[in-house]
Amino acid sequence: MTGAFNRRDVVQVAYVVDDVEKSALKMVEAFGAGPFFIGDSIPLSHCLYRGKETPLDHTNACGWWGDVMVELVQQNNDGPSAFRDMYAPGEEGFHHMATFVKDFDAEVARYEALGHPAANIATTENGGIRFAYIDARSLVGHMIEFYEDIPAIRGFYAMIEDASKGWDGSDPIRRPG
The full set of domain ranges for the chain reads: 12-166
User: Position 36: which residue type?
Assistant: F
Give kind and range of the element (H or E) at residue 111.
Answer: helix 104-113
Average pLDDT, whole number, for the chain?
95
pLDDT of residue 176: 81
**Residue 25: CA count within 13 A, CB half-sphere:** 5
pLDDT of residue 2: 45
Q: How far apart are CA 58 and CA 33, in angstroms?
A: 21
Q: How far apart are CA 57 and CA 122, in angstroms?
A: 12
**Residue 125: CA count within 13 A, CB half-sphere:** 8
| Contact present, 14 and 73 (Cβ < 8 Å) | yes
| pLDDT tens digits, one per residue of 89-118 | 999 999 999 999 999 999 999 999 999 999
| Contact present, 35 and 174 (Cβ < 8 Å) | yes
Q: Rounding to the nearest 10 degrees, give the CA dihedral for residues 155, 160, 165, 171.
A: 140
**Considering only CA atoms, which of 14, 91, 27 is closest in space to residue 60?**
14
What does the DSSP assignment read for 15-35? EE-S-HHHHHHHHHHHH----
pLDDT of residue 4: 56
CATH 3.10.180.10 is the classification of domain 12-166: yes
Q: What's the gap between Cα 176 and its chain centre?
A: 18
pLDDT of residue 1: 41
Which residue numbers in the chain have pLDDT < 70? Answer: 1-6
pLDDT of residue 7: 77
